Amino acid sequence: MCWNRWLSSIALLLSACAPAPPPPTVHKDETLEPWYHQAVQDLAAQNQKAATLWKSGKEDDAAALIQSGEPIASRLLSVTNPTLAAMQDASDLDDLYGQMLLSNKNYGWARLFFQKNLARWKNWKPQTPDTAARLKAAQDNIAECDRRMVNQ
């Protein structure tokens, strides 16, 4: 019995020597960082330039801009709660790429980009007239891909 008390006392003392738990990590809002706002502006400008190039028949230059915009979009969307502006810019990038692929008869790849937009806007809260229109456009684009794949 004396041994039991002694072992219990030793166990209690040893457990009191354990290191303190680490402090809770505080997630800072990266959307408030200067780089985030700048990246949103850069992606919007790139999207606009790529769309202009594509409409003027410079598909290769537009595709190069789209590809260089993909890492920017990925970084913007990798934060915990991306802003609506970042989501819109990433959506515009994917929509433009999807439209280019659709025009080149790459229906499966185009569909993939439109599906990304469908997932984005289907789950976006709060739903706004703009996000609802973007959701509808993604659904229509997917339907167009499906129609063209069947009629191929």
Q: pLDDT tens digit string along 78-88? A: 999 999 999 99
Q: Does 7 fall in a domain?
A: no
When divided into structural domains, the chain yields a total of 1
Instruction: Compute the half-sphere exposure of residue 21: CA atoms within 13 Å on the CB side of its CA.
Output: 3
User: Distance (Å, rounded) from C-alpha 76 to C-alpha 86?
Assistant: 6
Q: What is the pLDDT of residues 53-78, one digit of tens each?
A: 999 999 999 999 999 999 999 999 99
Q: What is the pLDDT of residues 114-127, one digit of tens each?
A: 999 999 999 999 99
- 16 confidence band (pLDDT: 50, 70, 90): low
Instruction: Report the pLDDT value the prediction gives residue 1, as an integer from 0 to 100.
Output: 52
Residue bearing tokens 């020597």:
17
Q: Does 6 fall in a domain?
A: no
Instruction: Report the pLDDT value the prediction gives residue 18, as an integer from 0 to 100.
Output: 59
Q: Does 66 fall in a domain?
A: yes
Q: Does 19 fall in a domain?
A: no
Phi and psi at 32, nearest 5°, equal -90, -5
Q: Does 24 fall in a domain?
A: no
Q: Does 13 fall in a domain?
A: no
What percent of the chain is helix, strand and coil (3-state, nearest 5)?
A: 80, 0, 20
Residue 38's domain spans which residues?
32-150
Q: Does 70 fall in a domain?
A: yes
Q: State pTM to two decimals.
A: 0.81
Q: Does 26 fall in a domain?
A: no
Q: Flag whether pLDDT at 133 surpasses 60.
A: yes
Q: Flag whether pLDDT at 104 surpasses 90.
A: yes
